[in-house]
Amino acid sequence: MAQQLPDDVVLSVENVSIVYHTSRGDVRATNNVSFQLRKGEAMALIGESGSGKTTVSLSLIRKLPKNAQVTEGRILYNRDHKVRDVLKLSKGEMRSFRWADCAMVFQGAQNAFNPVLKVRRQFEDTARAHGWNDKEAVRKRAMRLLELVRLDPDRVYDAYPHELSGGMKQRTLLALGVLLSPQVVILDEPTTALDILTQRAIIDVLNNMQDELGFSIIFISHDLALAAEMADTVATVYAGEIVEIGSVNEMFYRPLHPYTLGLLASVPKLDNQEDNMMSIPGTPPNLITPPSGCKFHPRCQFATDKCHEDEPVLVEYEHLAACWHTERVIETRGEYV
Ligand SMILES: Nc1ncnc2c1ncn2[C@@H]1O[C@H](COP(=O)(O)OP(=O)(O)OP(=O)(O)O)[C@@H](O)[C@H]1O
Ligand SMILES: [Mg+2]
């Protein structure tokens, strides 16, 4: 049966679960994750190290490591009213999907360039791998994209990677990422290795590119301030689950989940009122033997017996959150956000 999605939804992730098989046992890195990404929307995934942000995004382009298995769910992708399940694409279809439909800039990708090839070759090779052999046309498109990321196109196109600074490499990667006009661009910690001014510049460039080209973004970041600048929608990931999802304003000013509240409260404020800062006690759980009930309960200031026993699901309150005690969070959040 043909699958249906609303016209403006480009990606629909539905109940996806992923495990890593390891000698110590199965790591349950993604549990029942669902979300929809709309045309032109930027969604940020936020959460501590090890929460499962990269795992989810790798599944979207089927680039998970060999020991990973998607145990359930489907990932629907919509282009021009044609809906396909990414998990069911053939190898050949997948290769073209990865650049032409959904491109990813990987965590730590500044080193992804082949050091012995000029930037030009990396653009040409990428194009050729997708049957695009007209070097002059590739050059034209590359010039436009390099300009969009505010680099000197002629100079960069003929440079070797080592002639570019970290920030320039990252911009070049962004340009390369959209060479084949993908509808979805996944950026995994795109600014982490860069200094703060360069980070800002990359975010500006990204916003600019997105305005111009209209793609949708999945943006993964530890940095809430950057996520706030990039995103329309924010999803908090904890222990492999989305525990809260809403618009950037809802999430940053009216959080409903204690974990989101903790992430926000642990960001130093400009007015530097230290007594308003709170850090989340403890560490993320072991995903081979995750806690019972709500996985956040061992670290949660609001936890009760119910939280030990029953796992909450996402419910619509002001927006979607998975917590038994959203009312308590609402009473308290004014002190922190
Ligand atoms: N190849 C692998 N084999 C086994 N376990 C893995 C593998 N890759 C990741 N994991 C585990 O899966 C969980 C999720 O990891 P993931 O890299 O998706 O988190 P993340 O949110 O992207 O973290 P970070 O912010 O550090 O990048 C972690 O518990 C991690 O240890
Ligand atoms: Mg990661």
Task: Enumerate the domain spans of the chain.
Answer: 9-231, 257-335
Query: Above 90 in pLDDT, residue 110?
Result: no
Q: How far is the CA of 57 from the centre of ligand 2 (A)?
A: 9
Query: Above 90 in pLDDT, residue 192?
Result: no
Average pLDDT, the chain: 93
Q: How far is the CA of 51 from the centre of ligand 1 (A)?
A: 7
Query: Above 90 in pLDDT, residue 3?
Result: no
Query: Above 80 in pLDDT, residue 298?
Result: yes
pLDDT tens sequence across 208-243: 999 999 999 999 988 888 899 999 999 999 999 999
Q: How far is the CA of 11 from the centre of ligand 1 (A)?
A: 23
Ligand 1 pocket test, candidate residues 17, 18, 19, 20, most atoms within 8 A of CB: 20
30 lines ligand 1 (CB under 6 A): no
Ligand 1 pocket test, candidate residues 16, 18, 23, 54, most atoms within 8 A of CB: 54
pLDDT score for 274: 54
If we measure between CA atoms, which residue out of 296, 315, 185, 188 comes closest to residue 240? 296
Residue 263 token pair: 């992430």
Taking CA atoms only, the protein residue closest to ligand 1 atom 31 is 50
pLDDT band at 12 (very low <50, low <70, confident <90, very high): very high
If we measure between CA atoms, which residue out of 12, 37, 82 comes closest to residue 216? 37
Residue 63 zone, left/alpha/beta (φ > 0; ψ -120 to 50; rest)? alpha
Residue whose entry in the numeric block shows the structure tokens 């995004």: 57
Name 243's bridge partners: none
Mean pLDDT value across residues 173-180:
95
For 329, the 3-state DSSP assignment is helix
Residue 328 DSSP label: H
pLDDT score for 258: 96
Ligand number nearest CA of 22 is 1
| CA distance linking residue 80 with residue 96, whole number of Å | 16
DSSP 202-237: HHHHHHHHHHHH--EEEEEES-HHHHHHH-SEEEEE
pLDDT score for 278: 64
> Which residue type, as a one-letter code, is found at position 10?
V
pLDDT tens sequence across 253-266: 999 999 999 999 88
269 CB neighbour count, 10 Å cutoff:
13
Residue 7 token pair: 């016209």
Convert 306-323 to b/e letters by CB count within 10 Å (16 or more is b).
Answer: ebeeebbebeebebbbbb
Q: How far is the CA of 1 from the centre of ligand 1 (A)?
A: 35
Contacts 24+ apart (CB under 8 A), 281-284: 284/48, 284/49, 284/50, 284/51, 284/238, 284/239
User: By 3-state DSSP, what share of the chain in percent is helix, strand and coil, each rounded to 5?
Assistant: 40, 25, 40
Please give the backbone phi and psi of residue 170, each rounded to the nearest 5 degrees, phi first: -65, -40
pLDDT score for 232: 97
pLDDT score for 191: 84
pTM of the model: 0.94
Q: How far is the CA of 54 from the centre of ligand 1 (A)?
A: 7
Sign of CA dihedral 190, 103, 235, 288: negative
Q: Give me the count of residues in the chain.
A: 337
If we measure between CA atoms, which residue out of 2, 39, 38, 33 comes closest to residue 19? 33
Name 218's bridge partners: 43, 186
CATH 3.40.50.300 fits 9-231, yes or no: yes
pLDDT tens sequence across 17-66: 999 999 999 999 999 999 999 999 999 999 999 999 999 999 999 999 99
Query: Above 80 in pLDDT, residue 319?
Result: yes
pLDDT score for 277: 55
pLDDT score for 335: 86
pLDDT band at 275 (very low <50, low <70, confident <90, very high): low
pLDDT score for 249: 96
Contact 183, 216 (CB under 8 A): yes
Mean pLDDT value across residues 303-308:
97
> Which residue type, as a one-letter code, is found at position 93?
E
pLDDT band at 199 (very low <50, low <70, confident <90, very high): confident
Taking CA atoms only, the protein residue closest to ligand 1 atom 27 is 49
pLDDT score for 225: 87
Contact 240, 52 (CB under 8 A): yes
Does 335 or 37 have the greater pLDDT score? Answer: 37
